[in-house]
Structure formats: C-alpha cells, structure tokens
Chain A
Amino acid sequence: MGYPRVVSTFDDLIAANERVEPRDEMPDAYRATLVRQIAQHAHSEIIGMQPEGNWLTRAPSLRRKAILLAKVQDEAGHGLYLYAAAETLGVSRDELLDALHAGKQKYSSIFNYPTLTWADIGAIGWLVDGAAIVNQVPLCRCSYGPYARAMVRVCKEESFHQRQGFELLHTLSHGTEAQHAMAQDAVDRWWWPSLMMFGPPDDASTHTGQSMAWGIKRFSNDTLRQRFVDMTVPQAEALGLTLPDPELRWNEERSSWDFGEIDFTELFEVVKGNGPCNAQRLAHRVRAHEEGAWVREAASAYAEKRAAREVA
C-alpha cells in the first residue's frame, strides 16, 4: 500500500493534476493569467447584476420578484467568492475594482446588451446562465485551488439560475399571445450573443493553449460552444420557441447540432466598448462606488476609533 509522497514543484503539481495552493511557488505568468481570468469573472458577476436588476422593481408577480431578487443577490455573492479567490494571489479587491472602473480589466461582453422586456430575464437565465454553466463546470477542476473551490459554490448556485430562466420562459411561451411573442423576441436577441460568450473560435483564441497546459482551462472555446448548442436545442423545442438560426440541423455523423456562422465582428465591437450598454454599465458601477465612498470611510473611521478606545 502506498502513501503518496507530497509533490512540491509547480510543474510536478500540474503534471500530477494536483491543485496549486496560494503559498505554492508558481510562474509569474500563471499568476497573472489567473488574476486576469478570475478578476474578469468576478467583474462579470458584478456588472451582470445590472441588466437583471433593471427589472427588479417591475417584476410582474411577487413570486417572480422574490426569485429575481435572490438571483441578483447570488450574483453579488458570486462576485465576492471570486474576488476572495483572486485576493489569494496577492492582489486586493480595491485594486481589481479600480482596474474595472478605469476600464483596464474586462467583464463578459454579454452584459453590454440591454434587457428590453421581462422575457429578457428568462432568456438571460436560460441562455446566458446556461452558457456560463457550460463554461464554468470545468473550472471546478481548475488547477488553482481557491478558484476551483469558489467555482464549486458558484456552479451549485447557478443551476437554480438557469432553471428559473427556463421556467420563466416556459410560462411566457405557454401564456398569452403577447407573452409568447415577448419570449420569442427575447430568445431572438439573446441567442447569438450567448454563443459568443464562449469566446473567439479556437483558431483565433490567444490564450487557450497555455491555459490548457496549466490546467486553468480544460476544454477549448469551440468544444464548449458545441456542448452548449447540443444541450440547448432540445430545450428550445420543449419551450416551444425557435432559435434564430436557419442553419441549425442535426448532424447524424457528429451526433451534434450544426449551426450557422457566428458574426464575431459584432462581438469584437462590443469588446472594444461599442456595445449598446458598455458606457452605461461602467458608469453605473463607478457611481455606486463613488457615492458609497463616504460610507466605507465612515466604517473605517469608526473601527479605528473603537480600536483606539480599546487600547486606551
């Protein structure tokens, strides 16, 4: 019987598919890649609160209002789990937020699209969270321990998000004619952006190779995108809604769905800052941060006074 000896160098850990923990030595580039990815992920959760928050005060039933409130609140929680994971790499949340506010770090471009109707809340839950789950489940086995552990919590909670979105759309789709049309319109608008959430095609992706070697990324963009399409097409049928892609058809040979070409020029425009809501989302976040500064300062001042009194 063997008691495995503890492996210790970074390369050994990666080769043995072991987790890297905060105090382990790691290459600077590995650390930088993780900071970039975890921060972007955390920022996405925080900015992602806005398009859904847009409907919180207008939810059409008290039950839906409670569900949406719990969901948006979860997103703040996920952001916090992820910032905490990033902080184990030696950056502070303040630095990361400053970078977000200064436009130096990115968040998922999907949140630069507006939520125009209530059905968008369903489409975000079903498609955007659905795509996020496909992206995120492999991250539960990511090589960096704190990130992997945060993702386990996030994924557990996200599955509620996707289901509520599906249920919401199902209700609309089987409701009045106006509700059905609202649901179809939302799916028409969110389908292609959600496919773009998996990033550029593999042959154009800049980070994939090294991230795969380091065990940060487990599957390529196109593999995950296909997985999402295959998962979603039958769900759309169950919803009684049409996905806006005339080229969508079952490929017997591949046992997968073929789908039309994605217009990545739009994605790149949105990434560059020219999406419908880029400026609005960032300005809203900066406003919250700036208007809250006096509150955070008060809490610090109070703590200092209390500590001083305890010493005295």
Chain B
Amino acid sequence: MGDLWEVFVRPKRGLAHVHVGSIHATDAAMALRNARDVYTRRQEGVSLWVVPSAEITASSPDEQDSFFDPAADKAYRHPTFYEVPDGLHI
C-alpha cells in the first residue's frame, strides 16, 4: 500500500496550502493523484502538495514550553499593547 504522505491543499488562489490529512502511495506521482481523488472531490483546492510523512521534522511536545512559552510575555509585539488617542486610526 506504500508509505504515508501528508497532503496539503491550497483552497483558492491567495491562500496558503493547508494540511488536510494523509494518504498512502508507493511513489510521489501516485501520492499526488490519490490526494487529488480523495481530498478534492468537491473543488476543495486549486493546488496540492504531498510530502512523505517521514520527511517532516516536528517540534516535540516535550519542548513545547521552551519553544513557545517565551513568546507569551511579549505582549508588546502585538499592536493592541499600545494606547492611542480615541478616534485616531493607526
């Protein structure tokens, strides 16, 4: 049945490819076709990516705190952190 491939679909022009699920295929050409048949039967996409699941390097949940928590106290990165006089659009 082949290896596992992750499938990403661009729903329409102007949007990024989004992960939709996975598919089995023995090679890239079949993976692309299987992804087309399984994940875009209702015009869900205008472009497809398939990536061998084994090729994805993912961050580990164990590192979640050190990876992502340090961003939590940097509210000054967000525009809503700043006060502007009422009625002004900045």
Contacts and interface: CB of A to CB of B under 8 A. Distances in A.
Contacts of A153: 20-21
B60 A1 contact: no
B18 to A, nearest CB: 11
Contacts of B38: 77, 80-81
B24 A93 contact: yes
B66 to A, nearest CB: 11
A296 to B, nearest CB: 6
A25 B41 contact: no
Interface stretch (A55-63, A124-132, A215-223, A298-306): A298-306
Given A93-B24, A306-B27, A8 B64 contact: yes
A6 B41 contact: no
Contacts, number: 61
A11 B71 CA distance: 24
Contact of B21 (A1, A84, A94): A84
B14 interface: no
B58 interface: yes
Given A24-B61, A25-B61, A74-B41, A300 B26 contact: yes
Contacts of B41: 70, 73-74, 77
Nearest to A78: B38
Interface of B: 1-2, 4, 20-24, 26-27, 30, 38, 41-42, 58, 60-61, 64-65, 68-69, 72-73, 75, 80
Q: Which 5 A-B pairs have the closest CB atoms?
A: A303-B26, A303-B27, A299-B26, A84-B22, A84-B21
